């Protein structure tokens, strides 16, 4: 048993793909035409960190309720955790790319940590060794 995908609700597909692929260095695993449960057009977009088995489904918001959830899917808590081998290089690369960091890097229980927002406004922990 394993977690295959988690969904992040986004405003639009292409800016989300650009953030995860161009800024964070994820792989674009799939970007295929698909249909909603009621037959409307959508895209099935999956990204994931290189070497990871679990992917992120980038789901474009449909309707007012989903649009209101963009960036606050988990009540503005950190819900996503990106562990990297070289914290400093990744952090500097993200700062250079304009990623919004909410906290400066600090030592935490598992190493270094800094909180950032993704393209949709969700909070993530960037985690790495001390």
List the alpha helices (DSSP H) in 27-118: 63-69, 87-96
Pairing mode, strands 123-128 and 78-83: parallel
Give backbone dihedrals phi and psi of 77, rounded to 5 degrees, phi first.
-95, 160
- Residue 105: per-residue pLDDT: 98
For the whole prediction, is pTM greater than 0.85? yes
Nearest to 105 by CA among 128, 123, 82, 122: 128
Q: Which two tokens stand for residue 69?
A: 């959830």
According to CATH, the superfamily of the domain at 1-70 is 2,3-Dihydroxybiphenyl 1,2-Dioxygenase, domain 1 (3.10.180.10)
The CATH code belonging to domain 72-130 is 3.30.720.110
Establish whether domains 1-70 and 72-130 are of one fold.
no
DSSP letter, residue 93? H
Q: Which residues contact 109 (CB under 8 A, 6 or more apart)?
A: none
| Per-residue confidence band for 37, with pLDDT thresholds at 50, 70 and 90 | confident
Alpha-carbon span 58 to 44, nearest angstrom: 8
pLDDT digits (tens, 9 = 90+) for 56-114: 999 999 999 999 999 988 999 999 999 999 999 999 999 999 999 999 999 988 899 99
Give backbone dihedrals phi and psi of 23, rounded to 5 degrees, phi first.
-90, -50
Query: What average pLDDT does the structure give for the chain?
Result: 95
- Average the pLDDT over 7-22 and give the result: 98
Q: Which two tokens stand for residue 6?
A: 């988690």
pLDDT digits (tens, 9 = 90+) for 112-126: 999 999 999 999 999
Alpha-carbon span 116 to 81, nearest angstrom: 10
Write down the domain spans for the chain: 1-70, 72-130
CB 10 within 8 A of CB 58: yes
């Amino acid at each position: 048993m394993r977690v295959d995908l988690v969904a992040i609700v986004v405003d639009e597909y292409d800016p989300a793909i650009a953030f995860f692929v161009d800024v964070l260095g994820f792989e674009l695993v799939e970007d295929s035409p698909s249909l909603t449960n009621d037959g409307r057009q959508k895209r099935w977009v999956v990204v994931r960190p290189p070497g990871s088995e679990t992917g992120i489904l980038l789901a474009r918001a449909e309707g007012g309720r989903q649009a209101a959830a963009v960036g606050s899917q988990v009540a503005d808590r950190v819900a996503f955790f990106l562990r990297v081998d070289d914290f400093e290089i990744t952090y500097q690369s993200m700062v250079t790319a304009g990623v919004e960091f909410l906290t400066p890097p600090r030592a935490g229980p598992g190493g270094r940590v800094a909180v950032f927002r993704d393209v949709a406004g969700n909070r993530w922990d960037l985690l790495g060794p001390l």
